[in-house]
Chain A
Amino acid sequence: MINSVHKKINSIVFSIFSPKQIIDSVSAKIVTPELYDREGYPVDGGLMDLRLGVIDPGLRCKTCNQKLKECPGHFGYIELARPVIHIKFVRQILDLLRSTCRSCGRVLIPDEKVKRYVSMLNKISDDEDAEERRKKVKEIISKYKAKDKCPHCNSKQEKIKIEKPYNYYEGDVRLSPIEVRARLEKVHEEDLVIFGFSSSNFRPEWMIITIMQIPPVTMRPSITLESGERSEDDLTHKLGDIVRINQRLFENINAGAPEVIIEDLWDLLQYHITTFFDNEVSQLPPARHRGGQPLKTLTERIKSKEGRIRHNLAGKRTDFSARTVISPDPLIGLNEVGVPQSMAMHLTVPERVTEWNKEYLRKKIENGPKKYPGANYVIKSDGRRKTITDETKEEILGELEEGYVVDRHLVDGDIALFNRQPSLHRMSMMCHIVKVLPGKTFRLNPAVCNPYNADFDGDEMNLHIPQNEEARAEAKILMLVETQIISPRYGLSVVGCIHDAITGNYLLTKELVFTRNEAADLLYGCGVEDLSSLPDKDRIDGKEVFSVLLPNDFNFVGKDKSGNQVKIVNGLLKSGLMDKSNLGQESGLMLRNIFEKYGPAYTADILGKISKLGIAVLARRGFSIGIGDLDLQNEVSEEISAIVKKAETEAHKLIDSFYAGNLEALPGRTIAETLELRILEALNRARNKSGDVAIRQTKESSALTMAKCGSRGNPLNIAQMTAVVGQQALRGKRIEAGFNGRTLSYFKKGDLSPKARGFIKNNFKSGLTPNEFFFGAMTGRDALMDTALRTPKSGYLYRRLSNAMQDLKVAYDGSVRDASGRVVQFTYGEDNLDVSKTKNGVIDVKEIIQQTIGEKK
């Protein structure tokens, strides 16, 4: 479509084709059901008539003289021997028949009321919308159908019934489509407004088909099988049936055949035309292929999930995209994505040949499609595309000139969009820099797992390659990973160090000391080339090593995970440890402050270096856990079992006093509830206490280190492994149900003691008793079910919210408006704050003042 017409659409009118309009707009009349003659050439006046458009390459359309892909196709028509009801208008026709007079054709509403209704309807469509008007129309129609006397000509009205799907009866007499059409012809133009039809350009009798439009061949192309056989589209099959029956009907009428035969053929024609429009009409057997599979006709093409709208219009597919499993690579940059070479050879980037890149692109063409880095296609100045193969290579190289476009392979440094479903927030699709790597998976830096919510248990992700400068610029400026570091939800960094990187930096800043050589080696290994800020002494402690990464003018005061002050003065870490609350994702202001002061690129860079440093330190120091990490000294174990025993006796005392009747009820509780609560409280207290003891007394171990710095595990996990697993709870209560009056058959009925109600006094290291294990399995299963049921529920909830709010935006005056400019909030979020420009949702005025004054002097 090179000669496209540019015009502005002012309005759109929906209407029905009149027979005359059809004939005027049509380019061929179809008279024969035959498709091709003996030479395989389309028959004139057949369904594949060349005037209806071209589907064969090389042929030209007889109507517009254009080639395949240029000719849009043209409609044809057939003249039906007898009129037929259009299945999609059955409802409307019934409404019209019922509420208009059978003799004078007027609507069954008195004149004076007609006017009132019309003005009322106009008012509704002005004030409200078309939807309200339609409702009102429905209301009016249902009020006036089945009046038994015409207010205009006083003639008696019969009751019109419908026999699904398309037979109308007046009383017991069937109305043929001819009669129906005659009735509709009588309906007055001014009355049509009542029914919701616009009076100009529309007549109700057009809802009965007399002239049928034949869709162009371009929308029902036949496919040629490998055997050379032609296979026609479902629509063509259906149209063939229609034309054939129509011919026979004509012949029989002309020959003066008996009425019964004509009636039968007429019915058959009605059936075929009905199924042509909709093959899923209830009460009608669907038309089938020889194999028995139903034909896919017009309605089925459009509707439902696989239909044109949801599948092809709303669900577009795209070229230059790829999908595969993801795996981690902590050594590539935060904003990089590792792309398998095999993919890089199929994903291409168009590059225009210029004076300056001619040689470079020439080399790519020489490499061809099979040798990386090569090129797959060349687009010539006239827009024609040529595949690069061993045969065409020489020719293309010979003619290559400025203005040609080469589709070259993806190379390092190209721009790509990387995405993981479900795309719930804007960080679900970010721009990455391509790095072509061996292997078959996408590689990403584990630090960006969090915004994508990805892990490596088999997750797959998608990659898209922007194809022009504008798209690349937009992606790079707006969507590059580092520009997305600060979350618009809570104003903190969404990326940060994880796992080993945190542990490494924690140990580094806590206890490690290096020689100068070791320190230099470590730093150089994670990309630091300027070691001038490394202190000039033999023993360099970890804090000093870490400080080398920090910019010299960076100042920061914060807290680490254990609550100690972290102080950075002029880029030197003076006190505090680098743990999760400073390096981790979604926590701490250190990364936030670096981002604010030094910008996106610098933050991504320093984050990468910190990560690598942590991992390198950990690799050098060595780090592993084992069962020995969970060892407790004997005294500690005894202390813990004493605490547990004490709690159990306390619980038993409570139970005894409950049975003795001298347990005092808490306000608003029954005595039984009080007992439960107090037992639960006593047991939880014991668990927490023994957990604390265990944590305090466990020797320094790797497991504890990880829990302390926040890289993996928490104190509770350790307590459960070393001390006591604790009370298992179902729906917030101790375990109750199971057998009649008891949890397991092992216990006595009515046993309220801790061990009979799911208290696990063992720890994971010592091992659980069978009863305890069963209680653990009960809560475990409950938790599993809970997550399995909650995920889709909250997903749908989120979807509804995001769909409802998708076009709200903050206007220039600070108010939140919807698409039509209606106010939703007068000040954005009540406080006019852009969260992504705050620190965890607050603006620290004090700090801003300090900074401003401090810098002035």
Chain B
Amino acid sequence: MAFDVTKHTLVSKHLKVSDTEKESVFKQYNINSKDLPKILKDDIAIAHLNLKVGDLVKIERVSKTAGIAVYYRVIIEG
């Protein structure tokens, strides 16, 4: 049985971003996917989300100063 990293306290919550939400993120920051930070498609933290290349992942990090800090990554070919 493999260890489930997503349950680890140090692994931030990775969430799927819907297409409409993705558009609104692009619009909010006036960017497109090449300006975003990347994450490999086969990264274990997003393996359970069944995403495809080009999708966005929303990462909710626990921050000491800000409570929850939101971060986005675009999925690239592994």
Contact = CB atoms under 8 A, between A and B. Distances in A.
Given A821-B35, A830-B61, A813 B29 contact: yes
B9 interface: no
A824 B30 CA distance: 14
B66 A827 contact: yes
Contacts of B65: 829-831, 833, 841
Interface in B51-75: 61, 63, 65-66, 69-72
Contacts of A830: 61, 63, 65-66, 69
A316 interface: no
Interface string B22-55: 0000001111001111000000000000000000
A822 B66 contact: no
Interface string A818-857: 0001111111011111000000010000000000000000
A688 interface: no
A822 B63 contact: no
Nearest to B68: A830
B34 to A, nearest CB: 8
Contacts of B63: 830-831
Contact of A822 (B30, B35, B61, B72): B35
Interface residues of A, number: 15
A826 B31 contact: no
Contacts of B69: 827, 830-831
A389 interface: no
B35 A823 contact: yes
A822 B31 CA distance: 8
Nearest to B72: A826
Contact of B37 (A813, A823, A827, A841): A823
Contact of B36 (A823, A832, A841): A823
A116 to B, nearest CB: 22
Contacts of B28: 813
A771 interface: no
A733 to B, nearest CB: 31
Interface in A776-814: 813
A841 B34 CA distance: 33
Nearest to B25: A826
Given A813-B29, A822-B35, A823-B35, A831 B66 contact: yes
A823 B70 contact: no
A824 B37 contact: yes
Contacts of B72: 823, 826
Interface residues of B, number: 16
A815 interface: yes
A4 B36 CA distance: 43
A833 B64 CA distance: 13
B6 to A, nearest CB: 21
Nearest to A815: B29
Interface in A282-300: none
A813 B29 CA distance: 7
Nearest to A832: B66
Contacts of A832: 66
Q: Give the residue among A813, A815, A823, A832 with the most B Cβ atoms within 10 A.
A: A823
A638 B70 CA distance: 62
Contacts, number: 38
Contacts of B37: 822-824
A821 B31 contact: yes
A821 B69 CA distance: 21
Contacts of B66: 827, 830-832
Contacts of B34: 822
B32 to A, nearest CB: 10
A670 to B, nearest CB: 30
B35 A826 contact: no
A92 to B, nearest CB: 33
Contacts of A841: 65
B61 A823 contact: no
A832 B30 CA distance: 18
A188 B66 CA distance: 64
B55 to A, nearest CB: 17
Nearest to B36: A823
A831 B30 CA distance: 20
B13 to A, nearest CB: 15
A774 B61 CA distance: 52
A829 B66 CA distance: 9
Contacts of A826: 29, 70-72
Contacts of B70: 826-827
A455 to B, nearest CB: 34
Nearest to B30: A813
Contacts of B29: 813, 815, 823, 826
Interface in A15-71: none
A833 B63 CA distance: 13
A831 B28 CA distance: 17
A832 B65 CA distance: 10
A826 B25 CA distance: 10
Nearest to A817: B35
A824 B38 CA distance: 10
A775 B29 CA distance: 61
B14 to A, nearest CB: 15
Contacts of B30: 813
Nearest to B59: A826
A831 B67 CA distance: 8
A823 B56 CA distance: 14
Nearest to B31: A823
A832 B34 CA distance: 24
B57 to A, nearest CB: 13
Contacts of A833: 65
A841 B72 CA distance: 25
Interface string A748-774: 000000000000000000000000000
Contacts of A822: 34-37
Nearest to B67: A831
Contacts of B35: 821-823
Contacts of A823: 29, 31, 35-37, 72
A833 B30 CA distance: 22
A627 B65 CA distance: 49
Nearest to A830: B69
A277 to B, nearest CB: 41
Interface string A153-189: 0000000000000000000000000000000000000
Contacts of A824: 37
A813 B25 CA distance: 12
A193 B61 CA distance: 49
A831 B70 CA distance: 10
A576 B34 CA distance: 58
Interface string A378-389: 000000000000
A823 B70 CA distance: 13
A446 to B, nearest CB: 34
A833 B37 CA distance: 22
Nearest to A838: B65
Nearest to A829: B65
A823 B72 CA distance: 10
A829 B65 CA distance: 9
A827 B63 CA distance: 12
B40 to A, nearest CB: 17
B9 to A, nearest CB: 18
A826 B71 CA distance: 6
Nearest to B35: A822
A832 B31 CA distance: 19
Nearest to A821: B35
B43 to A, nearest CB: 18
A815 B30 CA distance: 11
Interface of A: 813, 815, 821-827, 829-833, 841
Given A822-B37, A826-B72, A827-B66, 7 more contacts: A823-B31, A825-B71, A826-B29, A826-B71, A831-B63, A832-B66, A833-B65
17 contacts: A813-B28, A815-B29, A821-B35, A822-B34, A823-B31, A823-B72, A826-B29, A826-B70, A826-B72, A827-B66, A827-B69, A829-B65, A830-B61, A830-B63, A830-B65, A831-B69, A833-B65
Shortest Cβ-Cβ A-B pairs, 5 listed: A831-B66, A830-B69, A831-B65, A830-B63, A830-B66
